[in-house]
Structures are given as C-alpha cells and as structure tokens.
Amino acid sequence: MIPLLYTGQGSLRTVSRRLSCATCSPRGTARIIWQGAGNDPADRETPLLVTASAKSMRPVRAPLKRSKGMEYGLIGEHLPHSFSKIIHEKIGSYTGRPYPYELKELGPEEVGSFLEAADFKGINVTIPYKQTVIPYLDGISDQARQIGAVNTIVNRDGKLYGYNTDYYGMRDLLLRNSIDPSGKKVLILGTGGTSRTAHAVVSDLGAAQIFKVSRTRKEEGTVTYDEALESHTDAQIIINTTPCGMFPAIDGCPLDPGHFPDLCGLIDAVYNPLRTTLVLEAQKRGIPAQGGLYMLVVQAVYASELFMDKKIDNGVAGRIFQEILNSRRNIVLTGMSMSGKTTLGTVLAQKLGRRMEDTDAMIVRQEQREITSIFAEDGETYFRDAESAVIRQLASENGLIISTGGGAVLRRENVDALKKNGYIVFLDRPLSQILPADDRPLANTKEKVAALLEKRYPIYRAVCDGSIYNDGSPEEGAEKILTLLQV
C-alpha cells in the first residue's frame, strides 16, 4: 500500500472517489484513516492519511461537467413501485412547503458520476446503493457510520452529508405496534443495509440477544436458517429485512413463524404488498405483526426535516400513513349471498371514487354463462377454481372495492390472497333479511339459507378483519365501513 497525505485540497468525496473509482482498478483498494474530530476534512487541523494499492494507480480523470439535475428525489436501481414520491408530496402539502421530488433510476456505473456532479439539494437512497454512496460523502452522521448505510444525502453549499433516517422509521414502527425488544431474543432476517439498521435499533432498545439470519453464515453473530430452526426457536421477536415476499413474488415467505412458540412480535420491512405472507402467518397465530409502510413514511418525514432544516409536527407521519394505507388497501366485502355486498360495494365505490369488482359477475362474464349453469354443467369444484383465479387477479391490485361470493372465504388461499392488499369486512346481516335467490344454487330456499348461514357464520367471523351489522340501508352500511376503516 502507498501512503498518500491529504493536504486539505478537495473534499473527502472527491478524494475517495478518485482513489476508489478513477485511480484504482476493480481489484485495487483505497483506505482513509480518520484523524481528529468532525466529518469534513477541510475543517481538520490534523492531516488525513490515505492509502491505495500501488499497482492499481492510474491517471486521475478530469472532473465531470454538471448537468441539469433535480432538487429532491430518490435514487435506486429499480423504482417502478416506489411510494416515495407520493409520500414526499403529501409531506409538502401538510407542511405548507411543497417541493419537487423525482424518482431517478441509476445503474451501478452511474452512481459515482451522479454524486460527483452533486446537482441536487437532497436525495434519498434505496437498495442497492446505501453503502455505495458513502465514499462520495464529505460528512456522515455518527449513526449512519455506525450502521454502515446511508439513505439520505443533503447538499450543503456543495458538500454532501449522509444520514440514516431508516433508523427512526424502524424504531417508530416497533414502538407504534408495542413490540418491545428490551430483554428479548431477536432474529433479524438478512444481512444488508436494513438489517444493520434493525440491529442498531433493537440494540439501542435493550435487546438481550441479537442474531442475523442468512442463507450462508458470513459474519460473526450470523446463523443460517437451518441453525435458526435448530437452536433459536426461543426467539421472541423476528424482523425481516430481506425482499422475500415482496411484489411481484408475493407468495414468498422466509420462514414459518409457527416454529417459534415464544414469538411475541414480528416486523417485515416489505411494504408491497401491505401484508406479506410472513405477516399474515404471524397474525393467524395472534402474534402482533406489521409490514413496513409506516417505517417508510416515518423515514421520509425525518428525511424531509433534513432537506428543509425544519421540524415537522409529530402527527404528520401517522396521518400520511393512514391516507396511503386507505388509498392502497382494497376493501373486501364478504358474507352470505344476498347480504348486500354488491349494492353496498357500489355505494362505497361512488363515495370513494374507486372501481368496484364483483367476483361472481366476473366469473359469469368470463364463462359467458350463469352460475346456475356452471354448477349444473361442471360442478361446484370447477366454479371454486374459477373463483380462486379471479380472486388472485384482483388481490394483486390496489384501491379496489371487491364484492366476493358467499363461499369465497371457504378456501384459505382466497383469504390469504385477499388479505395481502385488502381489509376483509364481514357484512353481518340478520337471517330475516337474507332472501333466497334462484341464481344461487346453494341458497335458493329459506332452509338452505338458514343451514348455510349456520355453517359459514363462524368462518366469516374468523377470517374477517372487521365487521358491521348490516341491517339498514346501503348508505348506512357504507358509512359504517368508512368509520371502521377510518376513511
């Protein structure tokens, strides 16, 4: 290694970029030895020592010319499903200080040039660049340095300063859901930047034991998934920081919470879908579990405070979270045939300006025949298969009103699919108001209706997220649902 003495000419960002990116081959290395206090070498009296591999040195390329950039935004490799623009626009609206926010996809080879130009006021950083950006910074917060990941960069007079606001998002997500790591054993799934953030948070909150879980053991304090199932089933809190279960591969699940009998809390950093398979499996067992949407909103609020250098009211994050949750979440109506699902759903759709879909009507359109004909010609199993296919299709969308058939919830796969992006509301209607219907083969007489309700009522109760007593007008029922969902 060749020692290079930093003389104070040029920022740490420029020096480290040129060593790591311009003057070093892919196999070369650069190392910065910090001396003194502060984050900016220009503010230090003690010289900064830099070392680089001798065989990797090449001439330094000329500085890049500035191009027209953005004021605020998010950089990452793939951003088609990001919520960040929506969140920051809402923050600007709530604070009365709107600011432009863009999504900018960058390839790995473009990150250095983008940061070197520094043609922005503030940016957020998402995977896979939360570690990549660090060498380009003039300063980094103690917290971000400890975690080893940066998700927010602020440009102050041409100098770039990095922060980790994911820390506050993860912390507040745990606290909001009353998941307290103090004195508990915690498993963190994954070893990336978000995993480091989770580790720092639960450590600061007093966790007794912390283990990261990875497919292959790579570092101290890390165990494999097999080892977790063999030796760590006494874990009390699980935090998933991997993309397993994220859209579009929404059926993925990194492990089964049922193997952890002492589990009392589960967090999944994934926010699309709103509830992953992992979260749903925990909730089935009565374990408090939550996805990552609230974390995303909170970290954005803290980032905005850094962008604008102004404190934001405490309630803003909660209000934005509820707004986005309401706009993204499907309202799924379940209950007996003739309990008012389609009529009430139509009223809700008109009130909220949403699209309403009726699964029975979709099947009739696709099959080009009535339900009675489907049952008579192909049987109930054929109909249920067609119903499941329609539900899978609708469940992957957002912001719908979905009216389901009376027997849709009999299949667990349908319930799980609908819950991922939806809130299931059971319309509990008095038997006296549920009339037989000729086009419903299983409920075309009063006797069949009564028998079916007795059989299905416990199922409706078990699978729903909430219910209303639907004994009034469709408008009254719709208002009850809006109140239930805080819309």
Residues marked as catalytic? 130
How many other CB atoms are there within 10 angstroms of residue 37's CB atom?
9
**Token pair 């680089």: residue:** 52
Which two three-digit tokens encode residue 433?
A: 């108001």
State the amino acid at position 69 in one-letter form.
Answer: G
Q: How far are the Cα atoms of 216, 253, 358, 462 from residue 334, in angstroms, in the given order?
A: 44, 26, 11, 12
Starting from the edge strand earliest in sequence, which strands make up the sheet with 330-334, in order?
A: 356-358, 401-403, 330-334, 422-428, 466-469
Going by the DSSP 8-state scheme, the letter that residue 142 receives in this structure is H
What ranges in 177-292 are assigned the alpha helix state H?
A: 193-204, 225-231, 277-284
Strands 122-125 and 152-156, by their bridges, are antiparallel
CA-to-CA distance for 437 and 370, rounded, in angstroms? 13
Within a 10 A sphere around the Cβ of 3, how many other Cβ atoms? 10
